[in-house]
Amino acid sequence: MKQAFIFDVFGTLVDWRTGVATQLQSAFEVRSLSIDPLAFADHWRALYDPAMDKIRSGNRGYVRLEILHRENLDETLRAFGVGDDFDHHAREDLNSAWERLPPWPDVHVGMARLRSFGFLAPCSNASIAMSVRLARYADFRWDAIGGAELAKDYKPSSSVYLAAAKAFALPPERVVMVAAHNGDLAAARQAGLRTAFFPRATEYGPGQRTDLVADGDWDFVAADLPDLAKKIEACS
C-alpha cells in the first residue's frame, strides 16, 4: 500500500469522557464518595495540555503520557479533597482507566472500510503501551502503533506527525491525519500531511462549543468515520 491513515484517538475514536467517568463512578461508590464523576474527569483532562506544554517547550524531558496522567490524577484527587481515600494501588487502577475507553459507535465499521485504502495506525499522545492496551480493549485492528513516543514529543509538535510518516516509509503527502480536532489537523497540514475531519459533537459533553465544524480547508470533511471512508473511496 502506498498511503496511510493515522488517527487521533482520545475524542476522535474513543469517548474518553464517558469512559473515564464510568470507571470513576464505580470507585467513588465503593468508597461512599459523593463526587460528580464527570466533573472529576473534566478536571483531570483539563490538566492534560498544561502538563504536555512543559515538555513541548523544553522545560521538561519527555515522559510517557501515563506518567503525566498519574501526576494529574494525584493533583485532581487533592483538588477534590479525597487524596486520603485512594492508596497507590487504587490510583494505579484509576490511571489505567485511559486504557479502557469505549469506541464511538461508527468506529469499527469506518476503520474496516478504510483498511482497503491504506495502512491504519494511531497518531496519539498516548504511549505505545497505552495504545496497545487500548487497542486490545476497544478492538482496534492497527497495522502499526505510532504516536508521540516515537518522536519523544507531543502533538501538535510537527515531529510527531513526521515520525508517523517515517515509520511507514512514506512521504508526508501520502499520509492522512484523521481527527475530530481542528488544531490537530492544522499542525499535521503544517508538517505536510493530508487531513481529514469529522466532528464529535459531545466529546466534552452536551455543552461543547469547539470542533463542531471544520474550520480549515481540510482535504476531506465528513459526517463520521464511515462517511470519510466513502469519500476516500470516491477519490480512489
Structural domains present in the chain = 4-15+101-235 (3.40.50.1000), 18-99 (1.10.150.240)
> Distance (Å, rounded) from C-alpha 44 to C-alpha 5?
29
DSSP three-state, residue 199: coil
pLDDT digit of tens for each residue in the chain (236 aa)? 689 999 999 999 999 999 999 999 999 999 999 999 999 999 999 999 999 999 999 999 999 999 999 999 999 999 999 999 999 999 999 999 999 999 999 999 999 999 999 999 999 999 999 999 999 999 999 999 999 999 999 999 999 999 999 999 999 999 999 999 999 999 999 999 999 999 999 999 998 999 999 999 999 999 999 999 999 999 87
> Distance (Å, rounded) from C-alpha 193 to C-alpha 178?
10
- DSSP per-residue codes, 72-103: HHHHHHHHTT-GGG--HHHHHHHHGGGGS-PB
> Distance (Å, rounded) from C-alpha 75 to C-alpha 37?
15
Q: What torsion do the CA atoms of 116, 228, 165, 1 make, to the nearest 10 degrees? A: 20
Per-residue pLDDT, 80:
98
The total of other beta-carbon atoms located within 10 Å of residue 35's CB is: 17
> Distance (Å, rounded) from C-alpha 90 to C-alpha 102?
21
Per-residue pLDDT, 194:
98
Per-residue pLDDT, 1:
64
Place of cell 499522545: 125
Q: What torsion do the CA atoms of 13, 208, 205, 226 make, to the nearest 10 degrees? A: -30
> Distance (Å, rounded) from C-alpha 123 to C-alpha 151?
11
Compute CA distances 17 → 24, 44, 56, 166, whole Å. Answer: 11, 10, 24, 32
